[in-house]
Amino acid sequence: MVNLYSSFQLFSSESLILTSIVVGILLAGPLSAAEPVTIEHRIVEAIDARHDEAIELLAELVDINSGSLNLAGVRRVGERLDSELTELGLTTKWIEGASFERAGHLIARSEGRGPKVLLIGHLDTVFEPDSPFQSFERLDADHAKGPGAVDMKGGVVILLEVLRALAAASVLEDLQITVVLTGDEELSGRPLDLARGNLIAAGHEADIALGFEDGDGDPETAVVARRGSTNWSLEVRGIPAHSSQIFTEEVGAGAIYETARILEGFRRELADEEDLTFNPGVILGGTEVDFDHDQARGTGFGKDNVVAEFASVRGDLRATSLEQLVRAEAIMQRVTSESLPGTSAVLTIDHGYPPMGVTEGNSRLLAMYSQASEDLGFGPVTAVDPRRAGAADISFVANDVSMALDGLGLMGTGGHTVEETADLRTLSSQAKRAAVLLYRLSLAHASH
C-alpha cells in the first residue's frame, strides 16, 4: 500500500503553490503534464462548466422509476448510465440479477495506471412504481425534490462528473477505476453472497474505495465507519405443565421465563459496548406460537395457568467493527446456552451487511479529503458519528481495501420519504472535492 500520508502533507494549503513550483523544477525540461495547481484548476472549471447539464441528467434519472423491485426501471437507469460511462471511455458490463431476484448491477472499468480505486453507487431507490412520489421537481435555484434525488441518483451524477472532470484535465488515465453501481442497495437480493459477489470481488482488487451515498446529509461530514446490520432470531422451548408445577425439578422455568433471562442477559452483558446496539423487535410466547419470520408477524396462544412451551424473538444487532460483531455474537451465544432447568434455546444469527470499522487508512483518507475541501475553500470535513451511519454497500469492501470513505454524494434532507430534497449547490462542491482527492491520490501513488 502506498504511503499517502506524506504526499497529503505536501498539499497543505500554504505549501500548495511552493510544491507545484518544486515539482515543476524537478521535472525540468518540457513539462509532460501541467503543474498540480493548474490541473486542479482545470478540474474545478470542468465541473463548473457542466453544472446545468449535471442537474439535467439528475432530473432525467430521477424521472425514471427505479424502485428496487421495478427491475425494468433499474435496468433503464443502468442503460442510461452505461452510455455515459462508455462515452468516458470506460468498458461496461451488466451483471444479470436473476439469481438473486433483482435487476442486476452495472460495472465499468477504465484503462489506466496508478492506484486501483473502486467507486460505489446504486441505481435503485426505495420508491416503487406505486409510490405517489415519482418525479423531479425544481423548488428554487438551489433545491429540488425527487425520489432518489439524494439517495442516490445525485451521488451517481457526482461520480460521473468526477470522472468527466478528471478526463477533461487529462488525468483520468492516472487511476485504475472500477465503478460498481448495484441495482438492489435499498432492498438487497438474497442470498447476499450472490447479490454482492461482484462488489466483493471488486473490493479484493482495489486499494481504495469511495462511496457516493449521501451520508448524514451534511457536507461538513463524511463516513469513515458504518455499523453493520445483522438479524437474529431466538427459539426457546420449555416443558408444558400446569402452572402449579413451575420451577419444580420436572418442569423447570418454562419458555417465557427462559426468554426473559436470555434477553436480560444480552442487555446486562452488552449494554456497555460502545456504539453496539441490539434490539429485540418482536416476541411471541405461549402454548402455541405461529411466527412468520418473513412478515415479522404471527399469533400466540397461552393460558394463565399453563407453563409456556414456546417463545420466539426476532431482533437486530449493529456493530461498528467485525471484532465487535464477533465478540457480541460469542457473548449472545454463551448467554443463550446457559439454560434454566427444563428449557433449551437456539439463537440463529443471520449476517446481513458487515460493519465498516474505523481504520487508520480510512481516517487518513478522510484527512486527505478534508484537506482537498479546505484547499477548495469549502472548509474542513469531519467523520460522521457511526451511530448515524447505517449499513451501505461500501461495507462489503471496506475490510478488504487499505482506505475507504463514504458519504461523498449529493447532500440533502428527507431521504427515503416523499420530502426527499436535494441541495443542488452541493452537486459541484462535492464533485470538486472528490475529483481533487482522486487526483491527489494518483500523485501520491506516482511519487512512490
Q: Least Å distance between CB 129 and Zn ion?
A: 19
Q: Least Å distance between CB 185 and Zn ion?
A: 5
In the bound state with Zn ion, the residue whose beta carbon lies nearer, of 40 and 151, is: 151
Question: Alpha carbon of 93 to those of 189, 192, 265, 319, 443: distances in Å?
Answer: 19, 20, 49, 34, 29
Residue 16 in 3-state DSSP?
A: helix
In the bound state with Zn ion, the residue whose beta carbon lies nearer, of 252 and 407, is: 407
Nearest CA to 74 out of 99, 59, 88, 95 is that of: 95
* 84 touches Zn ion (CB under 5 A): no
From CA 117, how far away is CA 124, in angstroms rounded?
Answer: 22
Q: Least Å distance between CB 136 and Zn ion?
A: 17
How big is the CA angle at 202 (ends 348 and 321), to the nearest 5 degrees? 40
In the bound state with Zn ion, the residue whose beta carbon lies nearer, of 88 and 392, is: 392
In the bound state with Zn ion, the residue whose beta carbon lies nearer, of 160 and 251, is: 160
Residue 445 in 3-state DSSP?
A: helix
x/- letters, 207..226, toward Zn ion (CB under 5 A):
------x-------------
Q: Least Å distance between CB 387 and Zn ion?
A: 18
x/- letters, 141..170, toward Zn ion (CB under 5 A):
----------xx------------------
Q: Which residues of 251-263 are buried (b: 16+ CB within 10 A; e: fewer)?
A: bbbbbbbbbbbbb
Q: Least Å distance between CB 368 and Zn ion?
A: 24
Asked whether the bond before 152 is cis by omega within 30 degrees of 0, the reply is yes
Q: Least Å distance between CB 155 and Zn ion?
A: 8
Residue 225 in 3-state DSSP?
A: coil
Per the listing, cell 451511530 goes with 387
In the bound state with Zn ion, the residue whose beta carbon lies nearer, of 144 and 345, is: 144
- Residues in contact with Zn ion, counted by CB under 5 A, come to a total of 3
In the bound state with Zn ion, the residue whose beta carbon lies nearer, of 152 and 166, is: 152
Q: How many helices (H) and strands (E) does the chain have?
A: 13, 18
Q: Dihedrals φ, ψ of 116, to 5°?
A: -90, 110
Note the residues at the interface with Zn ion (CB under 5 A). 151-152, 213
